[in-house]
């Protein structure tokens, strides 16, 4: 069973504004509202891949109930801890004229130590040695940044496989506990190492070193339109990103993580994993907002994925 953990979910409001200008009156062309947050986005894509997951997390207020209602209507199993604060709303501004995507994200509500105890209990009540657990995204501002690392360590002790997709100290402390799979992007890798990465060869060298030193079985480094690197004990593979029409970059990394979790849970080989995860990420940028791509679109793109050692 795949479990996704979202400590700081969001209602994603995506507005399309042609020729968006700061300091001027801008008129909205279209808008959509989605249940968001990295783990929730992962669960949505797994659903569209005809897989199953259970979304776990913290929600509060009317925004939180909106997220739960969305997941219920999608047929995604979920269980949340209710908190006192209001779940955040993130604004995404898409400008097709200037070809820009601007994110304005709220920090999220303050949570209590009791909330942490409750969500930790919820996670490990659902987890067993057959579980694949995805720890992804930001956490509320007052949360210990070692939290993913602590949960990765405990999950591993229970025999579960863990996937980490985070940045900053969440990534730093999480990597130190050796997740089964880690998926940083180039920017996150630069922040982690304090080095500028100019090309895939540099990313490859750093990724292989980090994986080796921390006992990470699979390291996936996403590089946007430059593709991605897939590192495991069998070698390192470079996959090209297919050219597609970009509507929104929101959720592309989450779609990749969803396919990685899906393939890991099903025991797919590396070739299948590369093709499906690259296709899922490419399909996500073709969608508006944090909407999950359709199965048909992902399958069509899968045929176009090229990779090499």
Q: Token digits for 228? A: 């991605």
- What's residue 263's pLDDT? 98
Q: Does residue 68 surpass a pLDDT of 90?
A: yes
The whole-number pLDDT of residue 101 equals: 84
| Mean pLDDT value across residues 80-103 | 92
- Between 140-144, 204-208, 284-288, the lowest mean confidence (pLDDT) is in 284-288
The reply to whether 254 belongs to the active site is yes
pLDDT of residue 231: 97
169-186 average pLDDT score:
97
pLDDT at 111 (0 to 100): 96
What average pLDDT does range 102-121 have in this prediction? 94
Mean pLDDT, range 68-81, rounded to an integer: 98
Task: Write the CB contacts of 159 (distance below 8 Å, at least 6 apart in sequence).
Answer: 128, 129
What was the pLDDT predicted at 290? 80
pLDDT higher than 80, residue 178: yes
pLDDT at 133: 98
Identify the CATH number of the domain in which residue 279 sits.
3.40.1190.20
Asked if 78 contacts 35 with a C-beta cutoff of 8 angstroms, the reply is no
Q: How far apart are CA 220 and CA 16, in angstroms?
A: 31
Give me the residues paired with residue 264 across strands. none
d(CA 80, CA 223): 33
Give 140-154 pLDDT, tens digit per residue: 989 999 999 999 999
Helices (H), 127-245: 147-157, 168-175, 186-193, 200-214
pLDDT of residue 42 exceeding 80, the answer is yes
Catalytic entry in 12, 254, 265, 269: 254
Q: Taking the alpha carbons of 281, 282, 285, 290 in that order, is the dihedral positive or negative?
A: negative
What pLDDT score does 52 carry? 97
Q: How confident is the model at residue 216 (pLDDT cuts 50, 70, 90)?
A: very high
Banded pLDDT at 256 (limits 50, 70, 90): very high
pLDDT at site 246: 83
The overall average pLDDT reported for the chain is: 95
How far apart (Å, rounded) are the C-alpha atoms in residues 78 and 85? Answer: 20
Domains identified in the chain, total number = 1
pLDDT tens digits for range 2-36 = 999 999 999 999 999 999 999 999 999 999 999 99
Position 100 pLDDT exceeds 90? no
Q: For the ranges 72-76, 250-254, 273-277, which has the lowest average pLDDT?
A: 250-254
Instruction: Check if the beta carbon of residue 134 is closer than 8 Å to that of residue 4.
Output: yes
Specify the pLDDT at position 232.
95
Tens digit of pLDDT for each residue in 116-166? 999 999 999 999 999 999 999 999 989 999 999 999 999 999 999 999 999
Three-class secondary structure of residue 177 per DSSP: coil
pLDDT score of 289: 73
**pLDDT over 90 for what percent of the chain?**
87
Residue 251 has pLDDT above 90, yes or no: no
Residue 250 predicted with pLDDT over 90: no
pLDDT for the residue numbered 268 = 97
Q: Is 27 exposed, middle or buried (0-12, 13-18, 19+ CB in 10 A)?
A: exposed
pLDDT at 248 over 80: no
Enclosing domain of residue 195: 2-308
Residues 134 and 257 sit within 8 Å (Cβ to Cβ): yes
């Amino acid at each position: 069973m795949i479990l996704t953990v979202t400590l700081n979910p969001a209602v994603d409001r995506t507005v399309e504004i042609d020729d968006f200008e700061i300091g001027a009156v801008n008129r909205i062309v279209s808008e959509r509202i989605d249940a968001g947050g990295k783990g929730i986005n992962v669960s949505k894509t797994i659903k569209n891949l005809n897989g199953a997951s259970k979304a776990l997390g913290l929600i509060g207020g009317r925004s939180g109930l909106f997220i739960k209602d969305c997941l219920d209507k999608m047929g995604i199993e979920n269980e949340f801890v209710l908190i006192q604060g209001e779940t955040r709303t993130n604004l995404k501004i898409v400008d097709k004229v200037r070809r820009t995507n601007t994110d304005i994200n709220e920090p999220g509500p303050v949570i209590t130590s009791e909330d942490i105890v409750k969500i930790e209990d919820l996670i490990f009540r659902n987890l067993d040695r057959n579980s694949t657990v995805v720890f992804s995204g930001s956490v509320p501002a007052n949360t210990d940044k070692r939290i993913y690392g602590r949960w990765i360590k405990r999950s591993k002790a229970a025999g579960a496989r863990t996937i980490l997709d985070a940045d900053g100290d969440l990534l730093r402390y999480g990597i130190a506990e050796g997740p089964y799979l880690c998926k940083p992007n180039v920017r996150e890798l630069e922040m982690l190492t304090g080095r500028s990465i100019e090309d895939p060869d540099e990313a490859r060298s750093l990724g292989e070193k980090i994986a080796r030193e921390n006992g990470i079985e699979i390291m996936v480094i996403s590089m946007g339109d430059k593709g991605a690197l897939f590192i495991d004990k069998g070698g390192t593979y470079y996959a090209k990103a297919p050219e597609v029409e970009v509507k929104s970059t929101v959720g592309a990394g989450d779609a990749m993580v969803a396919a990685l979790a899906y393939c890991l849970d099903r025991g797919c080989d590396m070739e299948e994993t590369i093709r499906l995860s690259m296709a899922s990420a490419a399909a996500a940028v073709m969608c508006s907002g944090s909407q999950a791509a359709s199965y048909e679109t992902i399958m069509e793109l899968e045929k176009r994925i090229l990779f090499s050692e």
